[in-house]
Amino acid sequence: MSSPTTRRYYLKSRRVNWIVGIVCIALAVIEGVLIIAWGQSQWYLVVLMILLGMENLAIAQSYFTTSSDGLKYSYMGLYSIQTSWANLDHVDEVKTRFGGKVRQLVLREPGIASGPLAGLILSTPQGKRVLTIPMTMSMTNYDELIQDIKENVPHITGV
């Protein structure tokens, strides 16, 4: 018996996010050392750079995983939602706050949520029923992800 094929789809900007995150944190450390050496108390820039670096490192860890069992979306290491192929209902395109558009996979029933902030972020049943496909940043293999979805869920509309 062969093992199920598992594919992982990362954001196209993953490498850039890693580089920006590491550079921001390195600059924050250098700035912190200089602030201590010069006896200043302006730590707001250090804190801002650390937060920006951490955000970029977290974004670099967002991905979709497909397998014969279903689909899993992991967001920034903070939470993930897993569901079977049979639970996928349709795809909606919604507007973002900033005027862009994103596609969302809508589930029939809430998916299985896990991760350190899953309870807080996904506290509503609606939160566990939507998987956002980040088209603004785009996936490295976006077309392959869509093909996987179509092959496993032939009835799905909006893809």
Residue 22 vs residue 118, higher pLDDT: 22
Q: What is the pLDDT of residue 153?
A: 87
Hey, what are 17's tokens?
């996010």
pTM for the whole structure: 0.69
Q: What is the pLDDT of residue 127?
A: 65
Q: For 49-88, write each residue's pLDDT tens digit.
A: 999 998 888 878 888 899 989 999 888 778 888 999 999 8
Do residues 141 and 135 touch, judged by C-beta distance below 8 A?
no
Write down the residue that tokens 């450390």 correspond to.
Answer: 29
Do residues 56 and 18 touch, judged by C-beta distance below 8 A?
yes
Mean pLDDT calculated for residue range 98-119: 81
